[in-house]
Amino acid sequence: MSYTQHSVGSGSRTARRTFEFGRTYVVRPKGRHQATIVWLHGLGDNGSSWSQPLECLPLPNIKWICPTAPTRSVALLGGYSCTAWFDAGELSEDGPDDWEGLDASAAHIANLLSTEPADVKVGIGGFSMGAAMALYSATCCVLGRYGNGNPYPVNLRAVVGLSGWLPGSRGLKNKVERSHEAARRAASLPILLLHGTGDDVVQHKYGEKSANSLTMAGFRTLTFKSYDGLGHYTVPREMDEVSNWLTTRLGVGGSRT
């Protein structure tokens, strides 16, 4: 499925950029539909590569939506074009954040969840840049708005990030503390972060620093777990952790009834 998202910059830019998202893959629940998770792929990947392993998880009551990011130039790759949720230059707090790209992708993801039934719990997860996008969406949910000030329309119930980092961490604590409602949401939003100590693409220290930034900003229901020697990929025991955590946090049973 193709989808075109228009986004207005948050002050530094006045031009409008058009982002054309790729195909979206959907894994239907095999049992009773209790939750929907949008799962986001990493840099240069697509939704198809995650739809198959997610279908094999022992979570028959979860519907998985796996979109594909737009193809764009990425500074981290020297300007090479590939699928990316936003433009990334460096993984540090001092690096510039592509607010326009972040907001466009966050809006596209929220749009995919906005049509789910009211009694279905919704969440976002992802790997690498997809995890970064999931965490940015979590901050939008807590603050009640995107970076450009437009209202965020979805009430997330769970966020999962594998081998990722937190974009836009500068000033997050101050933004959350300025609003009692944001502080309440931050304290109650469950987040699971998993990261390998042997990751040479998104180093473990960035995942750990992101977890610390979120905790300091008031995200109290956050779990950060390290996997000794794990590189920039997933392993069965890590996905088992995701399955068990989602089952507990979302109250989705393992049965199909």
State the catalytic residues: 128, 199, 232
Give the CA count within 13 Å in the CB-facing half-sphere of 180: 0
Roughly what angle, to the nearest 10 degrees, separates helices 180-188 and 129-143? 140
Pairing verdict, β 16-21 and 3-8 = antiparallel
Q: Rounded CA gap, 110 and 102, in Å?
A: 12
Pairing verdict, β 25-27 and 3-8 = unpaired
Q: Are 45 and 23 in contact (CB under 8 A)?
A: no
Give the CA distances from residue 152 to residues 104, 178, 179, in Å, rounded to whole numbers and listed in that order.
Answer: 12, 17, 15
Q: Rounded CA gap, 31 and 229, in Å?
A: 36
| Tokens standing for residue 244 | 């068990």
Nearest residue to 92 via CA among 195, 193, 206: 206
